[in-house]
Structure 1
Amino acid sequence: MTTLLLVLNTLVALALIGVILIQRSEGGGLGIGSSQGVGSFMTGRGTANLLTRATAVLAALFMVLCLVLDIMNRGASGGKNEHDILAHPSQNAASQTTNKEPVSPPAK
């Protein structure tokens, strides 16, 4: 299930990048989505509205997928991650200092 969500999250991220790149910006940008040729499918304003809505939907979907993946991963680790500095900061600092063995210089 996690692999499927990761693949879906990657596809949503790529789609989000593509939609953002084809939007017309103030400085011109790529501006692919706003060509006003003869027989165009949508007007410039309609294209901008469609791309803005698509960006919002894809961004919301990306955030939801990231949260779901985080919740699933948090449950899989059992809440006892030794590298998690937010879990028990004082214990992590103490364990890092007490677990180190003194390094002796090499014998000549």
Structure 2
Amino acid sequence: MPALTFVQATGERKIVEALVGESAMHAARRNLVPGIVADCGGELACATCHVVVDERWLSALTPRSASEDEMLECTAEVPTSCSRLACQVRISLELEGLILHIPRSQK
């Protein structure tokens, strides 16, 4: 199982194990990561699982879809080029060590 690191705005880190094929959002919720609310349950219908991918990992992810770009415009913080919705980040073995930052507004 790949390990993911979620980093709070305070710098606090939580390392969780993710199942291959699940979303980063589901891994976060299963492991009670603060700040990942996921109101829609991963249906790409809210923006409460906004994360900022550590820049060195961005190229390892599939590109954002137009629908994800649209939803990112609804986040509490202005999205960056590294912003993703955790529900749209599918975990693979290649993502072992992925680092995801949780925006300050998602406490």
Verify same fold: TM over 0.5.
no
How high is the TM-score relative to the length of structure 2?
0.20
Name whichever structure is richer in strand by fraction.
2
* Structure number with higher relative contact order (C-alpha < 8 Å, ≥ 6 residues apart): 2
Q: Mark the structure with the bigger radius of gyration.
A: 1
How high is the TM-score relative to the length of structure 1?
0.20
